[in-house]
Structure 1
Amino acid sequence: MTQPLRYAINVSLDGCVHHEAGLPPDAESMAFWTDELRRSDTLLYGRVTYELMQGAWRRPASGQWPDWMDPSEVAFAEVMDPMRRVVASTTLDAVDWNAELLHGDLVDAVRRLKGQPGRGISLGGVRLPVALAATGLIDEYTFVVHPVIAGRGPRLLDGVELTLELIERREFRSGVTVQRYRPTS
């Protein structure tokens, strides 16, 4: 039995996925993302996403979360900070923050990772999911769609052809919708 690989990302109505596109996080969306993290015990990122998340959500050396964080952001950070991370990178020589580098062929390494015991693997980022979606390794896709036209930035799964089956849909008060899918083949 393999553990599921789940890809989840914020996306604008026009398919942009850069981290600045979308509505500012609110308590409802942060609670969703905190619960989403709890579904897995491993995070799989590429270098860019790893560094972005580390800069935003790693517990500071002081041990105290910054004053700018509201309670929903602290709750998210408390779940994310201790999680295991696996980083796919050809440019990093070392990682920390409970992280290890993925070695060898990407597809083979992710297959081995999925074969390890666990509740699931949470996949983030833009480029890494494109490489994995094309191989059929992603078991679930969650798109958190913001009612915003970004007009710029990387596109969601650009160049990948998939047919997906809707398995869940939720709406937030902000107008954001969560759409969860499974590949049909």
Structure 2
Amino acid sequence: MRKLIYGMNVTLDGYTAAPGDDLGWSVPSDELFQFWSDQLLATDIALYGRKLWQGMSSHWPTADEQPDATPAHIAYARRWRDMSKVVFSSTIDKVDWNTRLVAGDAVAEITRLKAEDGGPMHLCGATLAGAVMRAGLIDEYLLATAPVLVGGGTPFFTALDSWVNLDLVETRTLAGGVILSRYETRR
């Protein structure tokens, strides 16, 4: 059975994006960027919602070809292109870069993928994560909490039908005051 991890950069007040989908607060330090790059390398399948997929796919497929690309960005771009990805959307009809599109029931497909043998899956996108969270499929929550308050936007956590008990398995401070926290779901 695969492990399902939901992790993103998040503001101290709990948002993955500020109003208007503003991500200006979330520019990672070199240390945080390397952390996410290492996570990408350890991920067998990345699961995307439409909105985050469109943002990632508009940048990373050619990021390694940019004249100002750093070695870290080149490595991340190549990893991102090569890794298996699944996008859940009923509003787009085409995806590229080693990606499969699923227009049907995301929870059913993620349940099926999770039951397979293989490495960890990383859940990318707060809206998609909401449905998966309510279904009780997430094994680990990974938050890179930035020391900023944005007052609204896209929440990391969704409304739940019942409590989810977690165990803290790691916490550390990264450059810029970002607090990295990992929690496992208590089963």
With structure 1 as the length reference, what TM-score do the two structures score? 0.90
Q: Paired residues, what number?
A: 181
Cα RMSD over matched residues? Answer: 1.7
Deviations 1:141-185 (A, max 9, x none): 100000111223111113134322111111112110110001123
**Matched letter for residue 100 of structure 1:** R
The answer for the alignment partner of 2:135 in structure 1 is: 135
What percentage of residue pairs aligned between the two structures are identical? 35
**Matched letter for residue 47 of structure 2:** L
The answer for the alignment partner of 2:48 in structure 1 is: 45
The answer for the alignment partner of 1:67 in structure 2 is: 67
State the shift of 1:84 in Å. Answer: 0.9
Which aligned pairs between 1:165-184 and structure 2 lie closer than 5 A?
Answer: 165-184=167-186
The answer for the alignment partner of 2:81 in structure 1 is: 81
The answer for the alignment partner of 1:101 in structure 2 is: 101
Q: Is the 8 A contact 2:26 2:146 kept in 1?
A: yes
Q: Is the 8 A contact 1:21 1:150 kept in 2?
A: no
The answer for the alignment partner of 2:111 in structure 1 is: 111
**Matched letter for residue 5 of structure 1:** L
Distance (Å, rounded) in 1 between the aligned partners of 2:2 and 2:35: 21
Distance (Å, rounded) in 1 between the aligned partners of 2:50 and 2:90: 8
Distance (Å, rounded) in 2 between the aligned partners of 1:173 and 1:95: 35
Segments of structure 1 that go 5 or more residues without pairing to the other structure are: none
The answer for the alignment partner of 1:123 in structure 2 is: 123
State the shift of 1:21 in Å. Answer: 5.0
Secondary structure of residue in 2 paired with 1:157: coil
State the shift of 1:80 in Å. Answer: 1.3
Deviations 1:17-68 (A, max 9, x none): 11615342221111100111122111100111111111121136xxx52123
Q: Is the 8 A contact 2:3 2:121 kept in 1?
A: yes
Change (3 A) 1:6 1:81: same
Secondary structure of residue in 1 paired with 2:148: coil
Segments of structure 2 that go 5 or more residues without pairing to the other structure are: none
State the shift of 1:103 in Å. Answer: 4.8
Q: Is the 8 A contact 2:3 2:114 kept in 1?
A: yes
Distance (Å, rounded) in 2 between the aligned partners of 1:23 and 1:124: 15
Q: Is the 8 A contact 1:40 1:118 kept in 2?
A: no
Change (3 A) 1:122 1:36: same
With structure 2 as the length reference, what TM-score do the two structures score? 0.89
**Matched letter for residue 181 of structure 2:** Q
Stretches of 4+ moved more than 4 A in 1?
none
Secondary structure of residue in 2 paired with 1:58: helix
The answer for the alignment partner of 2:57 in structure 1 is: 54
Change (3 A) 1:106 1:28: same
